[in-house]
Structure 1
Amino acid sequence: MRVMTAEPVLPPAPGADEYPALDFVNSAIALPGGQFIDLFGTPKGANEWLAERGLAPADAGLQEMCTTQLRSLREHLRALFSARVAGLPALPAPLAAVNDALRRVPTAALLQWDEKEGPYRAAPHPINEVMDHALATLAANAADLLTSPDAERLTACGSTPCNRYLLRHGRRHWCSTRCGDRARAARAYARRTQPKAD
């Protein structure tokens, strides 16, 4: 398997704009030909991903330990999403990991005051707690998705070898047009090469 760390060409899966946790779970992408993209393959890639989503400063200077924490939570969330899609009970370890992430930061948003913009509310998270804040935010968003009515629409992409999740809209079972085209082409090829019955 060839591991790539560059930004993928795939657009965000349906539902990722509503649930950043869906985008987070989809940050490890299996592609045709045995290729694999991991957006958390390097601390720099992880820092960029978090910064683009307002979960860490661009200059947070994440270390390998941080990417390991992100990859671990991602795998636990993938296990929970998989259990939900399959209609199976969740294993204790993924549940414990999510709840541990949720307990790491204060939940009350404090009143802050910006000299130019005025008052606003934000949960405190000193720079040394950036990872705790990011992990808690992603875990909370995943918990929100899994406990919302939208969880009924959660599904895995129906195109092999894609491993991304999406929120189904209508009959669509693919995370992108590219995956849909690949699935339709595979079905057409299977029909053409199927032996004809006499």
Structure 2
Amino acid sequence: MFTGIVQGIAKVVEIHTAPGLNTLVIELPEDKVHGVTIGASVAINGTCMTVTRQEGQQLYFDAMQETLRLTTLGQLKIGDLVNFERAARIGDEIGGHLLSGHVHTTARLAEIIRTENNVTLWFEVPESWMKYVFPKGFIAINGASLTIGEVEANRFNVYLIPETLRATTFGGIEQGETVNIEVDSQTQTIVDTLARMGYDRPASTV
């Protein structure tokens, strides 16, 4: 499990491609690799990955075809920066909301609005996933736990403060980029349960 509190920014230093499998070599900050063991779970842009090898600050992760298809990891290039979070331990503070690291879908950054002290990002999401997106609800974008602002048709926005921009890759994100989305598990459970009972909520058409 993860908390959605990004622990830092890491760099893709190598990508080894094989049929149906990419091995990503990602370099973490020196102070973030202490105690990492083979088999440990690390969220890379919100995707739960297993450490298969370690060389100093460089961790190796195998991304199979299904992961490459469902997430943005297959689009990564050498030199790209990613958000990372090591798996939560019992007793850790849950500063965001509980995440599984299982990406549900991807979204496109449709618009960036920059003001003096914050940034507003508008994302377009496949319509089938909008039933889980509510104003003031939780959502994870590239592994970061964020609060949804406004919801319109097939898109929603989030408001980012300077600290979030500094601590994550959102500080350098560009319009048109694709991000990983994990919807809030409690919201998904409630919506799906109500749907089975016949209380479907149509997607917002505001």
Give the TM-score normalised by the residue count of structure 2.
0.24
Give the TM-score normalised by the residue count of structure 1.
0.25
Question: Which is strand-richer, 1 or 2?
Answer: 2
Larger radius of gyration: 1
